[in-house]
Amino acid sequence: MSDHLDGYTARSQPTLDISDVYLFRGRTGGPVFVMNVNPLSGAGGFHHEAVYTLSVDRSGGAVPDLALRARFEDPDSSGQQPFTLSLSTGKAASDPAAQGRVIACGHTGQTISSNGYRVYAGPAADPFYIDPAYVTAVAKAVKTGTRLDLSGFDPGSAHNLFAGTNVMTLVVEAPTSLFGSGTRISFWSATWVPTDDGTGWRQVDRAANPLVSTLFGQDDPYGAAQPSGDVATYGPLVQEMTAAVVAANGTSRAPQVYGAMVAAALLPDVLHYTVGTQAYWYARRPAGQLYARNGRDLTGNHANEASRLVLNMQDPDLDDGLTAAAASGTLRPDFPYLSLPV
């Protein structure tokens, strides 16, 4: 391949860099899968040789048994990219080369309705919000196992790092019948590129839960791994890093036990969601809910909740000073749900 994709990483090629993923109930009742790439600019569209994959597991093993894959072409004369969305099931769901059954075709920037699906691919305002000084302090504490130092951070002056910025988004609203209302599913997204010799595919990035790679610092090796191996590969590391930071901050009487709980909460790195229900992502289980985390909504303060989970801190000790009002744009009440590009 002329682009030498073997050398690409999420950091070196923004069009392959997954910033966030979301999973929630759509207006029609079916699940909405969102994959955002290319944070801070949204420029450059989607890579024409990559495969953008939305993976779903219904067995609990973090191995996909259903995959929605988007493939994009070079921009046409209008500047829009033709693309195809396909569905693969069974063993083919784990094979990025599988063509699957085509369920939608169109161009970026269009809202497409086809075969019971609604699909959008194109620019949108980034719904994620986080203060850079806050997340830097939290990440430093977690990575070094030291006390959290927020002395240089004022919640009253907090600002969103991603304010006024765009992403490229892939939004797929699937029919409820694809899984059945009440079905518990697991979801993650990934970007794949062909190897230079043309004999296979290489995963470049993946994402599900917020801030996992940011706080635990795995970067490229983590992005290339499969979630089915997370517990064995990264579980001990997440447990030890969490235990060290809660011990340093005195927020747990049993640091190792708490570290194991956080590792179990975040790994395998997938979003668990009950189809047809309200989505949310919290550090602790809300009153009246079965789970602490159920999919991932577009407006929650997920950066703060992830930090609270790992550090075992709540208000007033841990407050990033931001609300959903800090996010770019205004979310649409109907498909494709994300805000218009800014």
DSSP type of residue 199:
S
Q: What is the DSSP letter of 156?
A: G
Give Cα separations from 84 to 9, 103, 106 (angstroms).
Answer: 24, 8, 7
Widest distance between CA atoms in the chain: 63
Q: Would you say residue 225 lies in a domain?
A: yes
In a domain, 40, yes or no: yes
* Residue 175 covered by a domain: yes
* 74 domain residue, yes or no: yes
Q: Into how many domains does the chain fold? A: 1
Nearest to 100 by CA among 146, 68, 54: 68
Beta strands in 220-329 (DSSP E): 271-274, 280-281, 293-294
Residue 333 lies in a domain: no
Helix (H) / strand (E) containing 243: helix 230-249
| Residue 336 belongs to a domain | no
Contact 280, 295 (CB under 8 A): yes
Domain carrying residue 252: 5-326
**Can you give the pLDDT at residue 5?**
45
pTM score of the predicted model:
0.95
Predicted pLDDT at 130: 97
pLDDT value for 4: 39
Structural domain contains residue 296:
yes
Is 340 a domain residue? no
Q: Residue-wise pLDDT tens for the chain (342 aa)?
A: 233 345 566 667 899 999 999 999 999 999 999 999 999 887 889 999 999 999 999 999 999 999 999 999 999 988 999 999 999 999 999 999 999 999 999 999 999 999 999 999 999 999 999 999 999 999 999 999 999 999 989 999 999 999 999 999 999 999 999 999 999 999 999 999 999 888 899 999 999 999 999 999 877 799 999 999 999 999 999 999 999 999 999 999 999 999 999 999 999 999 999 999 999 999 999 999 999 999 999 999 999 999 999 999 998 889 999 999 999 999 999 999 999 999
